[in-house]
Amino acid sequence: MSNFSDFFPAPSATIDSGTTAQRPVSPTIGVTRFNTDLRKYELYNGAKWVSLQSLLYRISADVGILTADTIDVFSDETKF
């Protein structure tokens, strides 16, 4: 008998990773990757690479959902 996953494969996605020097030369807007030098997720916004950690902080502050001192993407907790 085949595995359950043979019939119902789990959806998944992978995120590229690499050093700062290995960033794509001509990325498209929205490309997300894990920077192994900085140990942070980053997103290309059309002009530059931005840390998702700082981006999440700005979004939460702008919409007023969270007022956080820091948002750590490697931690299960948010410090207020």
Whether residue 58 is contained in a domain is answered as: yes
CA distance 41 to 20: 11
Q: Where in the sequence is the domain holding 51, given as residue range(s)? A: 13-79
For residue 63, is pLDDT > 60?
Answer: no
Predicted local confidence at residue 53, as pLDDT: 78
| Residue 40 covered by a domain | yes
Contacts of 44 (CB under 8 A, 6+ apart): 24, 27, 28, 29, 30, 31, 32, 50
The 10s digit of each residue's pLDDT in 10-42 is: 666 788 999 999 999 999 999 999 999 999 999
2-15: average pLDDT: 67
Residue 17 φ/ψ region, left for φ over 0, alpha for ψ in the -120 to 50 degree band, beta for the rest: beta
Global pTM? 0.57
In a domain, 4, yes or no: no
Residue 2 forms part of a structural domain: no
59 lies in a domain?
yes
Residue 5 lies in a domain: no
> Which stretches does DSSP call E strand in the chain?
16-18, 32-35, 40-44, 49-51, 70-71, 78-79
The total number of structural domains in the chain stands at 1
Whether residue 27 is contained in a domain is answered as: yes
Tell me whether residue 29 is in a domain.
yes
